Amino acid sequence: MVELENLIRPGAGRGLDFVILDDLRKRTGISISEILKFSIAEILANALDTDVTEIYVKVKKLGEFDEVTVGDNGSKQISLKEIKLILDFGNKASSKRGFLRVSRGYLGNALKCLFGYSYALAEARKLPPPEILIRSHESEYTISLKPDRVREVINSEIVTRETEDTGFNSFTLRFPISRYWSGEPIKEYENITNIIFATSIVNPTIKFVYNLWDIEGELGEPGDTPPLRKDTSILWYEPSQFKALFYDFVRASPETKLKDLISLFRGLTAKKIQREILQALTDHNHVSYGEDGVPFFPATPIETLSSDDILRLYHEMRSRSKPISKRSVPKVLGIVGEERFEKVKEQHGWKRLRYTVMKGRWKDRQKNLKASFPFLVELAVFDREEEDDQGLQIFQCVNFMASMEDIFSRLFNVEYRLGRVGITKEAPVTLMVHLVCPVLKWLNYGKSGLYE
């Protein structure tokens, strides 16, 4: 049985949106020239949310296409049922959507978008739409998209075969080459290596192997990687957000018991607290409806709750939840930490590490602690060797994953602040800024920037 928090939940219909370039651009916020790094970043994010110790990335030129493969040695196998849910383009499907917790991937339909981009870009270039290949341990799935323009639906064809068990999961997609000049893909190579390099710094106990247009490299070392706790708190949700999440679960698994849904939230797993919450719901119904009031029990299916019941449940859960103390933020959210950053310094042969971490809780405009959510920011400054002529390198990560853009630009100017403490653009320094937060508001699905 799939754990409730990892259940893939279907959503509203989307027609042909996923094979129309303009709609894909609006959905992801990326340009065509960014598709390679976007695809690698999104599949990397999915891999890192599992129990991997090794990830490989390969990009090669194949005729008029760049072929991208990202694989990992995670133990969770990808089933045919899960692939069919991903390929249900008429509905959103995600196990991450709506959850406020520390996670790498936030675009719940990233794979749908990548599959659609592969098809739409080929169609725009009048090239045969390429197949998509998914391998999972001993299973192999070859996928072809079949959009029906008349019915406005995206059908698909899946060919399944058994292979030798590789112990790896991998996704292989092809995108038409978008470079309009002759020569090597220098800019694309730099963008992708930066994504892999930055991600390896905040995941030093994972081995990253890459082969980009026949240029090979390795980063990190496999080791014991502490899993993210993935805690979520009812205090981080607005009523509308909780209701949307609740209805998601009703659509995906209507027979789910109330006790199981309540247990998803931090501080509400004890049977005593759950009984108090359900008794309060029952009492409210009896006061409002008299003898017609419906009682609520731990085994009551979530599909039986009305809209008013859901909101009442939300408020009863909030009233029994406690904010996370500032001291507990690293333990609850997860942290790279000075010890593991020291490991990064040793791996690269750098000279010195300066490290600090800032912990806090964001409060609403009324300074209401009950409406707060925790965050932390790690700053790791690595001094490289004096003869290193690569100058200042700045990498930005969010929730243990590299950002594709200068995501903090709306919040503060990193280079300006470094200049004020004497770190110039020519200095042989590598700076890592790492934000860990369960509640993030992105400017777009491509995660190119954060709201203030």
Give DSSP secondary structure letters for 246-296.
HHHHHHH-TT-BHHHHHTTSTT--SHHHHHHHHHHHHHHHHHHHGGGPPP-
Residue type, 113: C
Give the max Cα distance, the chain.
82
The Cα 285–Cα 283 span in angstroms is 5
DSSP 58-112: EEEEETTEEEEEEEE--SPPPPHHHHHHHT-TTS-EESSTT--S--S---TTHHH
Of residues 368 and 158, the one with the higher pLDDT is: 158
Given a contact cutoff of 8 angstroms between Cβ atoms, the answer to whether 93 and 109 are in contact is: yes
pLDDT digits 0-9 by tens, 91-107: 665 666 678 888 876 54
pLDDT tops 70 at residue 366: no
Share of the chain above pLDDT 90, in %: 62
Neighbour count for residue 247 (Cβ, 10 Å): 18
The per-residue pLDDT for 118 is 97
pLDDT attached to residue 348 = 94
Residue written as tokens 């200068």? 406
Neighbours of 270 (CB within 10 A): 11
Three-state secondary-structure class, residue 373:
strand
Q: Using an 8 Å Cβ cutoff, are 310 and 250 in contact?
A: no
Instruction: Kindly indicate the confidence band of residue 223, based on its pLDDT and cuts at 50, 70 and 90.
Output: confident
Q: Which domains does the chain have, with CATH numbers?
A: 4-219 (3.30.565.10), 234-319 (no CATH), 334-436 (3.30.230.10)
Q: How many CA atoms lie within 13 A of 23 on its CB side?
A: 12
Is pLDDT at 331 greater than 60 in this prediction? yes
Confidence of residue 68 (pLDDT cuts 50, 70, 90): very high
Q: Give the whole-angstrom CA distance, residue 280 versus residue 33.
A: 55
DSSP 433: E
The answer on pLDDT for 419 being more than 60 is: yes
Provide the pLDDT for residue 147: 94
The alpha carbon of residue 306 and the mean position of all alpha carbons in its chain are separated, in whole angstroms, by 31
Q: Is the pLDDT of residue 299 over 90?
A: yes
Q: Strand 139-148 and strand 352-362: pairing?
A: unpaired
**R_g of the chain, CA atoms, integer Å:** 24
Residue 365: band (very low, low, confident or very high) from pLDDT cuts 50, 70, 90: low
**Contact residues for 238 (Cβ-Cβ < 8 A; gap 6+):** none
The pLDDT value given to residue 445:
55
What would the mean pLDDT of 122-131 be, rounded to a whole number? Answer: 96
Q: How would you class 437 by CB atoms within 10 Å of its CB: exposed for 0-12, middle for 13-18, buried for 19 or more?
A: buried
pLDDT for 439 beyond 70: yes
Residue with tokens 């790279």: 336
Q: What are phi and psi of 279, to 5 degrees?
A: -65, -40
Q: Average the pLDDT over 180-201 and give the result.
A: 83
Contacts 24+ apart (CB under 8 A), 337-342: 337/378, 340/204, 340/205, 341/201, 341/204, 341/378, 341/380, 341/432
What 3-state DSSP class applies to 207?
strand
- Residue-averaged pLDDT of the chain: 87
pLDDT at 447 over 80: no
Instruction: State yes or no: pLDDT of 135 exceeds 90.
Output: yes
Question: Parallel, antiparallel, or unpaired: how do β-strands 429-436 and 393-398 relate?
Answer: parallel
Mean pLDDT lowest among 3-17, 74-88, 174-188, 338-352: 3-17
Q: Tokens 């995206």 label which residue?
A: 154
* pLDDT at residue 10, rounded to an integer: 62
